[in-house]
Amino acid sequence: MRNNYTMKVTDHIQQSKKTLVSFEILPPLKGKGIQSLYSHLDPLMEFNPSFINVTYHRSEHTFKKRADGVFEKVVVRKRPGTESICASIMNKYNVDTVPHLICGGFNVNETEDALINLNYLGIDNVLVLRGDAAKNESTFEPETGGHQYAIDLLKQVNNLNDGIYLEEDLKNTNKTKFCIGVAGYPEKHFEAPNMESDLKYLKAKVDAGADYVVTQMFFDNAKYFAFVKACRDIGINVPIIPGLKPIYSKKQLTILPKTFHIDLPQPLSEAIHGCKNDLDVEKIGEEWLLNQSKELKQSGVPVLHYYTLGRPLLIANVVKQLF
């Protein structure tokens, strides 16, 4: 049975003298059922992750052809269930979970309801994000009555932590106690005009109460170390958790830079170009991830946070060699 308390990400970090491990998963595609998720997580649980993040996926608009030939706009949510998956994982594995919460697609009332649900479920961690533009939009557009930036969502979570709800006349309100994480970008967020500007807004999130930062994936540790130094230089003093992802297919050479706006170091891309097939790529990817993880661990990072989508066994192999 689960303990009747949850630990905050920052408590896990403060109470540990060594580098911790955490994993990030996606909700299953609609129709798959939660068993597929458990099968994904089972091989990773032997490493006692301190927490497991569950991403949030907003609805998409698509056009579907009706029988009469007319196209109609339909709303599809491919990966629902973030909050309930967090609760199920907590109950099944007795591990803390961190749901991601985004601005996109939510107005402030829906956000408040989501936070109240998390609080009722006993979840005291949340990673607050803006979210990307919807598939049919070129730039991010907040929902009517929703938040424009992650910092605005963060302030709403902080208000609930102070017992301030949207209905101002509520009396004797419950104060939530969310530990709040935010995203940081060692290679800059793609919309930011420059690194200085991006760091300025990251500092604003931390000054507004973010407890820690989790980074976008990177494949060159030097970029993470430079990012941490730049953060420290401007007074961002919270833990900065590196986000790590394995490469396991040639396709990722183009997909990862395009989707996540990151660089792949030349020795890595050349080694992958030279592979005969994806099995070989997987070997290179595993070795690269292991070396990255070893160096980060040696440097004393608080947590190694792995994006596990697609290759839990590869990640299990890496973590096994680290601890």
Ligand X SMILES: Cc1cc2nc3c(=O)[nH]c(=O)nc-3n(C[C@H](O)[C@H](O)[C@H](O)COP(=O)(O)OP(=O)(O)OC[C@H]3O[C@@H](n4cnc5c(N)ncnc54)[C@H](O)[C@@H]3O)c2cc1C
Residues found near ligand X in the complex (CB under 6 A)? 55-56, 100, 102, 129-132, 149-151, 183, 189, 191-192, 197-198, 201, 214, 216, 243
Nearest CB to ligand X, comparing residues 217 and 316 = 217
Give which of 163, 161, 162, 129 is closest to 146, Cα–Cα: 129
Give phi and psi for 289, each to the nearest 5: -65, -40
End-to-end CA distance of the chain: 26
Q: Which is nearer to ligand X, 211 or 282 (CB)?
A: 211
How far does CA 266 lie from the centroid of its chain?
A: 26
Output 132 or 287, the one with its CB closest to ligand X.
Answer: 132
Residues with Cβ < 8 Å from 260, sequence gap 6 or more? Answer: 216, 217
Identity (one letter) of the amino acid at 25? I
Q: Burial code of 142-170, b = ≥16 C-beta within 10 A, e = fewer?
A: bbeebbebbbbbbebbbbbbeeebeeeee
CB-nearer residue toward ligand X: 230 or 275: 230
CB of 58 to ligand X, least distance (A): 6
Give 282 or 312: the residue with its C-beta nearer to ligand X: 312
- Smallest distance from ligand X to CB 31, Å: 20
State the minimum distance, in angstroms, from the CB of residue 114 to ligand X: 13
Closer residue to ligand X (CB): 118 or 272: 118
> In the bound complex, what is the minimum distance in angstroms from residue 30's beta carbon to ligand X?
16
Q: Would residue 131 be called left, alpha or beta, if left means φ above 0 and alpha means ψ between -120 and 50 degrees?
A: left
Nearest in space to 225 (alpha carbons), one of 319, 299, 142: 299
Smallest separation (angstroms) from ligand X to the CB of 143: 13
Q: Exposed, middle or buried, 54 (CB in 10 Å: 0-12/13-18/19+)?
A: buried
Q: Kindly state the smallest distance separating residue 174's Cβ from ligand X, in Å.
A: 26
